[in-house]
Structure 1
Amino acid sequence: MISYNPKDWITFIFRFHKADTFRQLFVMMVLIGLYAAGVAYLEIEYWQLPDSSHVKNISMMHGMLGFVISLLLVFRTNTAYDRWWEGRKLWGALVNNSRNLALKLHAILDDEKDKTFFRKMIPSYAAILNKHLKDEETGKQLFEEISFTEDHHTHRPNQVAKMMFLRVNELYKKQKITGDQLIILNSELQSFTDICGACERIKNTPIPYSYSVFLKKFIFFYVMTLPFGYVFNLGYYVVPVVVFIFYVLASLELIAEEIEEPFGHDANDLPTRKIAENIKKHVEELL
């Protein structure tokens, strides 16, 4: 995740980060500019359409559809940000639950071997969950055309959670902890699996395909028809205007695509590796 000072907004205008949408859209912006220039040349120089031409009225369509496309893009970006923020809340809950479990185990356990076991296993769950969510196969588990071989060790977070559950149950059988303490520890351990399942839900369930495709087509055809109507009012100045409109609309879609899956390797994804390292440091301090 990119660290920045939100108050230093003037610097953002003149600096192009590697994750900036301008870099990603530059080739398309050049092509759109050439296309707009070609349409302007045809209408002004070749066809020499008069101001009374019905082609001029195409701009009325853009005025009506502009409100619709703005609503779609607002819904798209809000939905993507909700997924990003939910992922951040889940990893925040994992941090808190790891600390709470470490605190309770420190107070309950007397054997240093048992403390050493959980000192290693609690941070391991966060570290392995981070790798699990970044694995491409994790995001394909709900694809109907893809089937994976049955291997119980492919879901590594479950294996770590199972080892901790078995160790807690062993402590209860050896009467190192009471039944009430078993219930307390069980709720903390169960929360780990709940968080993993919620993260997998975000990872495995992208925005519906039909909605995403429709929005991209809408933006494309909206921008492609802009030069025809606005050439009459702007002349060749329609080229930078159309390029700028495309940049704004396409950038919103790119930003939404990047943050809707917050567990990847993109610049604006959640710093799950750093969070896992912090969990390790905190647990080792407590145990």
Structure 2
Amino acid sequence: MILPGRAHVGHILRYVGRPLALLFAWDVAVTAFWYLAHPRWTAEFPALPITLLGSAIAVYLSFRNTTAYARWWEARTLWGAMVNASRTLAREALTLLPERAQAIPVVHRQIAYVHAMRLHLRRQVPWDELAGRLPADELERLKKVANVPNAIHSRTAELMAAVKPDPVLWPALSRTLSDISNAQGGMERIKNTPLPQQYATYPAIFTHGFCLLLPVSLVETLGLWTPLGSTVAGFLFLALLQIGNDMQNPFENLDDDVPMSTLTRAIEIDLRDMLGEPHELKPVQPDDGILL
């Protein structure tokens, strides 16, 4: 996640630098061609169609970006629910299970679960992260399942039920376990359901087509200033396009993602503090304005 107030020229150029450079080269080529071939032109390019096209594309991109941000915000909300449910599970295990010795493995398993969930969403191998957090025999079994965090969570529920908690208190524990499962299901829905193809392909086609036509419509008015004016206007559309592309997939381990590494580290710190365990864990710090 890019932190507010940390944008700088270098980041902006990396963000849309390549398409912007290509657009500038195209603007220069159109301007040069206009000055060289202008005497042979017999008709002027009408300005009204490009104005209407730009307005329509701006509305389309804004609508698409609103939809993409809704996905990102839902992903962040689900991780907020996971943080709360993890703390609740640890508190209930420590206070509702018959013995503290029975609660400690539950809390440790929840720490392993959130790390496995982060790696599961990023399509990364979890075994190095889980080594030492779970028994070796369980790790071998997990290597044979398709959904590692779900298997860890199911085993945690089995262990909690095996200690036979008070039947009056068990529904509270069960609701918390369900909250965790529901949050995971929502995250997997976002991960596995891309935006419709119309939102993914058409904005790029329309935006790039508009940028190609833009200097043609401006060159007779701006003359030698066409590369500057067209590139600045094109930058706005290219930036809007890229913002939507980044926000629509919040679990891809990119700069604009939900900061899952930060959240899982915070969960682990909180749960180990609740157990009273000494540790040297520190919150994840931003790197060049990026929080992972």
Instruction: Write the deviation string for residues 139-194 of structure 1: whole angstroms up to 9, x where unpaired.
Output: xxxxxxxxxxxx8512111111111111122122xxxx122212111110111111
- Count of matched residue positions in the alignment of Structure 1 and Structure 2: 258
CA distance in 2 between counterparts of 1:283 and 1:24 reads: 37
Q: Please say if 1:131 is aligned against 2:119.
A: yes
Gapped runs of 5+ residues in structure 2?
Answer: 126-142, 276-292
Distance 1:211 1:136, change over 3 A: farther
CA distance in 1 between counterparts of 2:61 and 2:212 reads: 18
Letter in 2 for 1:40: T
CA distance in 2 between counterparts of 1:49 and 1:230 reads: 18
Q: CA RMSD in A?
A: 2.0
* 1:16 matched residue in structure 2: 9
Q: Name the TM-score, length of structure 2 as normaliser.
A: 0.82
Deviation of 1:2 after TM superposition, in Å, equals: 3.1
Instruction: Write the deviation string for residues 87-140 of structure 1: whole angstroms up to 9, x where unpaired.
Output: 111111111111111111211124232122112111111111001001079xxx
* 2:188 matched residue in structure 1: 200
CA distance in 2 between counterparts of 1:285 and 1:39 reads: 64
Give the one of 248, 252, 256 matched to 1:264.
Answer: 252
Deviation of 1:264 after TM superposition, in Å, equals: 2.2
Deviation of 1:225 after TM superposition, in Å, equals: 1.1
108-117 or 232-241, which moves further after superposition? 108-117
Give the one of 140, 147, 150 matched to 1:155.
Answer: 147
CA distance in 1 between counterparts of 2:111 and 2:247 reads: 26
Instruction: Write the deviation string for residues 66-90 of structure 1: whole angstroms up to 9, x where unpaired.
Output: 2211111111111111111111111
* 1:189 matched residue in structure 2: 177
* 1:140 matched residue in structure 2: none
Instruction: Write the deviation string for residues 29-61 of structure 1: whole angstroms up to 9, x where unpaired.
Output: 2332222222222223223257xx53331x211
Give the one of 213, 220, 242 matched to 1:225.
Answer: 213
3-state SS, counterpart of residue 55 of structure 1: coil
Higher relative contact order by CA 8 Å / sep ≥ 6: 1 or 2?
1
* 2:131 matched residue in structure 1: none
Moved segments of 4+, more than 4 Å: none
* 1:147 matched residue in structure 2: none
Distance 1:136 1:279, change over 3 A: closer
Give the one of 53, 56, 67 matched to 2:45.
Answer: 56
CA distance in 1 between counterparts of 2:149 and 2:78 reads: 15
Give the one of 16, 21, 27 matched to 1:25.
Answer: 16
Letter in 1 for 2:3: S
Q: Please say if 1:39 is aligned against 2:27.
A: no
Q: Name the TM-score, length of structure 1 as normaliser.
A: 0.83
Letter in 2 for 1:249: F
Give the one of 75, 81, 85 matched to 2:69.
Answer: 81
CA distance in 2 between counterparts of 1:121 and 1:43 reads: 68
Given that residues 116 and 148 in structure 2 are in contact (C-alpha distance below 8 angstroms), is that contact kept between their aligned partners in structure 1?
Answer: yes
Deviation of 1:269 after TM superposition, in Å, equals: 1.3
CA distance in 2 between counterparts of 1:215 and 1:89 reads: 27
Identity, % of aligned positions? 24
* 1:2 matched residue in structure 2: 2
Give the one of 215, 219, 225 matched to 1:237.
Answer: 225
Query: What does 1:112-127 align with in structure 2 at a 5 Å threshold?
Result: 112-127=100-115
